[in-house]
Structure 1
Amino acid sequence: MPAHHTDPCPIVELRQYTLHPGQRDGLIDLFDREFVETQEAHGMRVLGQFRDLDAPDRFVWLRGFADMAARHRALARFYGGPVWAAHRDAANATMVDSDNVLLLRPAWPGATAALPQHTRPAAGTDAALQPAGGVVDATVFHLREPATPALLDFCRHRMAPVLQRGGALQQAWYCTEESPNTFARLPVREGEPVLLGLALFRDAAALQAFADSGAWARQVAADLAPWLSPRAPEVLRLQTTGRSALRA
């Protein structure tokens, strides 16, 4: 079955922005007010926005597309349009680096179908200004080679069940989309095969309880290691923003 029959977005960007000190809340306010519905009007989906709990100057978000051709069209329209022109200087002034971007696809048909997408509160309301429910564990596993069927089978039948038993409410799994980046104005990290796991927990305490249980080390780590490159996984603890559609 083609992935687009079950997965909300067959192409996804994981975008990590390094910001100038003290600028994150200002960028989130601008982003949630001006850049959510306006991007979606051009055919993209803003899947989730997050504060990194361990890096106060990092903003992370997920953006999805129907396919690579739709990605190019949508990006050209938005970044060539009036909303970005009006607010780009304010947005760019908050950023040290915006090029830490992974281009991804669902790891198998249905691998991202459970990704929850809730109705957002309206911009400017009290609910929109408060963190939403849920903390996401986002782990980027760096691979020796592009994800193989054997690795993805291990992910489905060993990695995902350990997270579910450990309290993860929902999961989504992505691997590298190897198509060339056709929108050169926005660079992506190319030549880095990865597996990305997103696990949504009720809150930071629930995620910490899973980490403290040692289940991952006992049941997954050793058997996963042969697929991994020497580079350590990137582990992000992400608090959903008030207007994130991905929330508990």
Structure 2
Amino acid sequence: MPGTTVPGMTPDLCCPLVELRQYTVHADRRDDLVTLFDREFVETQEVLGARLIGQFRDLDAPGRFVWMRGFADMATRHEALTAFYYGPVWARHGAAANVTMIDSDDVHLLHPVDAGSGFPLPGVGGAVVRPPAAETSALVGVEIYPVAGDLREFAEFFTAEAEPALGAAPVARLETDPSPNTFPALPVHDDARVFVWVARFPDADAHAAHRAGWDERPGLRAELRRRLSGPPAVLRLAPTARSLLR
């Protein structure tokens, strides 16, 4: 389908298609959702054709749970989602997950900007060795930029100008995938065109130093704003104990 194929990328890489999912949850139930998710919803989705890229607590919003999953293509996504959400695992545990949530429709469907911009993780459908279940001081930064003009031009600007100035290398650069949503039971944004930048930081101080770089470069900030249709969203995410990305 259009939009899901990146030149030079094959379906055995992670991941030609990515969902970035931000859930609004009851703040006092977020840990319940994290525990349930890490225990029941990781391998049970991966055996059906998804790759669970990461699960996170938003450090700045106690009522937000963020996670990402990848697929080889839209057809595989439809098959995997159908099998999971109409299958036995969701039938057993879906109600317990849903009771923790207020909204689960803030979802961006994305693909890597180019062949070198995807997550450096094992491919969809392949075996994966997850790190031992443990908390970590590492922080994953996700920056979501609503782009006013051409997505490719914005990605070239950000890669050439912003990354060298701010001194942080990403683990992935993603942009909106325009493919029609073939699993309408799970809505995705169809009114946004975004560039998403994902990076790993050893701790919160390192992330703060990266963000402070914007304050020191007013000219770069002005160039950024000129290319945006609205303010960017900056997420500081703490990986859960079983997050692959950490």
Q: TM-score, normalised by structure 1?
A: 0.88
Q: Secondary structure at the match of 1:23?
A: helix
Distance in 2 of aligned mates of 1:160 and 1:119 = 30
TM-superposition CA deviations, 1:81-109 (whole Å, max 9, x none): 10010000000000000011000000122
The number of equivalent residue pairs is 236
Tell me which amino acid in the other structure corresponds to 2:165: V
In the alignment, does 2:83 pair up with 1:77? yes
Distance in 2 of aligned mates of 1:107 and 1:91 = 33
Q: Secondary structure at the match of 1:22?
A: helix
TM-superposition CA deviations, 1:54-74 (whole Å, max 9, x none): 001100000000011110010
In the alignment, does 2:165 pair up with 1:162? yes
Residue 124 of structure 1 is matched in structure 2 by none
Residue 238 of structure 1 is matched in structure 2 by 237
Work out whether residues 45 and 64 of structure 1, in 8 Å CA contact, stay in contact via their aligned partners in 2: yes
Tell me which amino acid in the other structure corresponds to 1:35: F
Pairing of 1:99-248 with structure 2 (within 5 A): 99-114=105-120, 119-121=129-131, 128=133, 130-148=134-152, 150-163=153-166, 165=167, 168=168, 170-214=170-214, 217-218=217-218, 220-229=220-229, 231-247=230-246
Tell me which amino acid in the other structure corresponds to 1:211: R
Provide closer, same or farther for how the CA distance between residues 246 and 41 of structure 1 changes in structure 2, counting only shifts above 3 A. Answer: same
Distance in 2 of aligned mates of 1:219 and 1:53 = 29
Unaligned 5+ runs, structure 2: 1-6
Tell me which amino acid in the other structure corresponds to 1:234: A
Distance in 2 of aligned mates of 1:80 and 1:137 = 33
Q: Secondary structure at the match of 2:39?
A: helix
Q: TM-score, normalised by structure 2?
A: 0.88
- Give the counterpart of 2:45 among 39, 44, 54: 39
Q: CA RMSD in A?
A: 2.2
Distance in 1 of aligned mates of 2:84 and 2:216 = 41
Unaligned 5+ runs, structure 1: 122-126
Q: Secondary structure at the match of 1:173?
A: strand
Provide closer, same or farther for how the CA distance between residues 103 and 93 of structure 1 changes in structure 2, counting only shifts above 3 A. Answer: same
